[in-house]
Amino acid sequence: MSYFDAASAAPLHPVARQALLASLDDGWADPARLYQEGRRARMLVDAAREAAAEAIGCRADEVVFTSSGTRAVHTGVAGALAGRRRVGRHLIVSAVEHSSVLHSAEVFEADGGTVTRVPVNRAGAADPSGYASALRPDTALAVLQSANHEVGTVQPVAEVAEVCRAAGVPLLVDAAQSLAWGPVEGGWSLLTGSAHKWGGPSGVGLLVVRKGVRFAAQGPVDERESGRAPGFENIPAIVAAVASLRAVRAEAAEEAVRLRELTERIRARVPDLVPDVEVVGDAERRLPGIVTFSCLYVDGEALLHELDREGFSVSSGSSCTSSTLTPSHVLKAMGVLSEGNVRVSLPLGTEEADVERFLAALPGAVAGVREKLGAPAAAAARQGPEEFLVDSLGKRCPIPVIELAKVFGQVPVGGTVRVLSDDEAARLDIPAWCEMRGQEYVGEEPAQRGTAYVVRRVS
């Protein structure tokens, strides 16, 4: 089985396993106590904090260990907003942040705050000018991920940090996906990370709050972790998390070159092997191990099951794989195809042979899913009426796009097709289909049920 979902959770690094087992004997006592067992536990925590600070590029007393990366985000966002409440109640985030950031923003809005969501380009990158335009006198905090978790696009953190610094606004950076590859550059104010993203054990997060940043921890607090992460520390897991971070950093430069070549191979060959595919994310400014593509006329969940049967573990941002039946907020913000979406994220040590096996298996898996769904094959155009109505009400992705494609060959140049759909994914996938096919997306029209998406044939 080839595990290609490291962006969700990386396999436990051998160094993490060794450190976890080695610290179990000395890391069980309360590090706040002054007796011998407590002092040994405190030494382990202090050493881990120093090592984490060195890897991040900050002071040791700025580092807090939390129970997860999500908890680090929630604590960091809430604490920074509360600490600057006198300035105002305005928060800035990008439209493609991790759900933990967006959930924090929703809670803030529900409590009376205001949130500006900065749009991204088609590659998934935020523009520093978007943050500059969003800044207001009452802005308390801005948030930007270091790199996107779904498409791998690296964000302009240093430039945005400079914009925020000039306005006196702290910037929180969600660095969960990038910390394995190196420290985050720029004048950021707060930073979060998650150990299971770089091969550490789950249940350990990092929160860094720079000295001078106003911060007020929310909820019940105690004396542990500067009052910012209450509860007894999981010392063996903390030690293992930091040991694995140092280990992956030691091999990061070499592995980055190797994994970048493998993902570039996937980016280049998938469109040649599989027709009607859109590779998404920035082609240059991206993490080494992530590549994402979407396949027309494919049910994402069915494709993931086919690839699983072939021995490949991958993930998807397709609405077809989610319980909400809505497309990934990242793909939606980018305006790219969501149906049949596949994210390949290679863990450290991935073999070239595994990537070649994946490329060999993918065309058959896609073709099999398309055949089951009745996807259209290439056919010569036939003259038909100038207007078609496709009723796809009650049908989920990718069926509305498949039914559009089936009739489009009968539409004369200049003719239109109206696709009736009540599936949220159609709002994203039909315009994406038009762009891939070089046809004109006219727009939406109100309908008695659902929405009518109008497409005009131009070639």
Q: What is the enclosing helix (H) or strand (E) of 194? A: strand 190-194
User: Which residues have C-beta within 8 Å of that of residue 141, sequence separation ≥ 6?
Assistant: 77, 80, 81, 84, 91, 92, 169, 170, 171, 172
Residue 353 to residues 2, 349, 350, 357, 410, Cα–Cα distance (Å): 10, 11, 9, 6, 44
Residue found under tokens 């604590």: 75
CA 339 – CA 301 distance, rounded (Å)? 10
Task: Give the separation between CA 127 and CA 97, rounded to whole angstroms.
Answer: 14
Q: How many residues does the chain have?
A: 459
- Quick check: is 320 catalytic? yes
307: its two tokens = 């690839």
Scanning 12-156, the segments in alpha helix (DSSP H) are: 14-23, 36-56, 69-83, 99-110, 128-134
Asked whether the beta carbons of 163 and 139 are under 8 A apart, the reply is no
| Whether the Cβ atoms of residue 403 and residue 432 lie closer than 8 Å to each other | no
Per the CB < 8 A criterion, the answer to whether 288 and 392 are in contact is: no
Query: How far apart (Å, rounded) are the C-alpha atoms in residues 391 and 141?
Result: 46
Q: CB of 180 within 8 A of CB of 199?
A: yes
Looking at 58, 295, 320, 397, which residue is catalytic?
320
What is the full DSSP assignment across 340-367? TEEEEEPPTT--HHHHHHHHHHHHHHHH
Residue 285 in tokens: 């400014």
**Cα three-residue angle 174-177-181, rounded to 5 degrees:** 115
Instruction: Please give the Cα distance from 365 to 427 (Å, whole number).
Output: 26
| Residue type at 238 in one-letter notation | I
Residue 310, SS3 per DSSP? coil
Q: Do 395 and 418 touch, CB atoms closer than 8 A?
A: no
Task: Reduce the DSSP state of residue 103 to 3 states and report it.
Answer: helix
The two tokens of residue 338 are 């969501």
The first and second tokens of residue 34, run together, are 């002054």
Q: Which residues are catalytic?
A: 320
